[in-house]
Structure 1
């Protein structure tokens, strides 16, 4: 388990509701105040999205992931196959494989020397139920 705990749960509204509120304002069907009360979204948030001051950058909260979703899914699938066939890996062996993958594919990552840390590893295991 990682050492970090999420402090926020994210917005109480959905992305679809925000898009509907922005569209309702842009089309002139509702004022900013009416859209805010109808969709239960702060008026400032709606206006920031209308004016382009703030866009929807990511589907998740927090930092962007180190690897693309497809890459992580492929690594997890390989690990599941290895595990099913009786080839377990230690954390160090796994991190060495990931480091080799980063170096071999010349990926740009925010990792120190291309090596993921203990927190990344524990979060990876949790995400893919390893």
Structure 2
């Protein structure tokens, strides 16, 4: 038989395959309502037709063969539903606290749980594998894997109390000049932004729909620092970009935007270059705009 005939025969056989069975074309509320009607005296067949629920499903629930509240088929999870639900809540709590769990961390924690609780599992040496992890994620669609963002540890420790204290100190510092706060063109905010040369973080587990979680680190990764200054009125002053060079290359100064301030710093921090930027660039810009 030629290859073409075999290929056509396989295509014809694929067309004759049975369609995939669709499960659960009904909601839990339909099950609940049907059971209530039956317990109130309605016939099983009538209730099943009214709420479009399979008669076998209703019989199994009435006879106690299947729980009334579940909507799934197959075996229970290896660790049990209660343990898995606790794991999900733990993952969410650690993520909210700023310490998200990666896949390896979850697998290690499950291994420790299995060992200490002496759980009977099919895991080799008590360690769950890749298959278990993917099934765990599919059973809990409210979790997702996200890219973590590294921030400086000092910034991660900012609290509401410290923010309110900063505002109180600022008001005291202004004294009789508090009226400047009423003019948005005279209220400016500065912030350093790290342009990461290698921005990819680790994949961590977090609650779906929640903004990307942050991972604290003692020091930032390799980056180029840019100091941005923006007013409450939406005006942006010339930014300052620092490069980690002892001597600034000519191509950097040549290709930089003309209105930008650029500088060099051995460590890439703005602590030393800030004063020069403030005196030579920012003040002249503010005087020009009469801020």
Q: Same fold (TM over 0.5)?
A: yes
Structure 2 match to 1:16: 29
Q: 1:44 aligns with which of 56, 62, 75?
A: 56
Q: Which has the higher strand share?
A: 2
Q: Tell me what 2:121 maps to.
A: 109
Please state if 1:96 is matched with 2:113.
no
Residue 97 to residue 24, structure 1, CA distance change in 2 (3 Å): closer
Residues 8 and 116 of structure 1, relative CA distance in 2, 3 Å threshold? farther
Matched, 1:32 2:48: no
CA RMSD across the alignment: 3.1
**Per-residue deviation, 1:53:** 5.3
- Does 2:89 correspond to 1:78? no
Alpha-carbon separation, structure 1, partners of 2:66 and 2:103: 41
Shift of 1:95: 2.6
Residues 33 and 122 (structure 1 numbering): CA distance in 2 closer, same or farther, change over 3 Å? closer
The alpha carbon displacement at 1:39 in A equals 0.6
Distance in 1, matches of 2:70 and 2:122, equals 20
For residues 103 and 53 of structure 2, the distance between their equivalents in structure 1, rounded to whole angstroms, comes to: 46
Q: How far 1:112 moved relative to its partner?
A: 3.1
Take 1:11 and 1:90, find their aligned partners in 2: how far apart are those partners? 31
Higher helix content, 1 or 2: 1
Match in the other structure for 1:63: 75
Deviations along 1:47-95, one digit per CA (max 9) or x if unpaired, are 3333x15221773523322332113431454367334xxxx8573x653
**CA distance 1:57–1:12, shift in 2 (3 Å):** same
In 1, distance between residues paired with 2:95 and 2:21? 32
Separation in structure 1 between the aligned mates of residue 76 and residue 47 of structure 2, nearest angstrom: 30
Residue 112 to residue 57, structure 1, CA distance change in 2 (3 Å): farther
Quickly say closer, same or farther: Cα 1:31–1:58, change in 2 above 3 A.
closer
Unaligned runs of 5+ in 1: 1-6
Aligned residues: 117
Deviation at 1:14, TM superposition (A): 2.0
SS in 2 for 1:82: coil
Q: Which has the larger radius of gyration?
A: 2
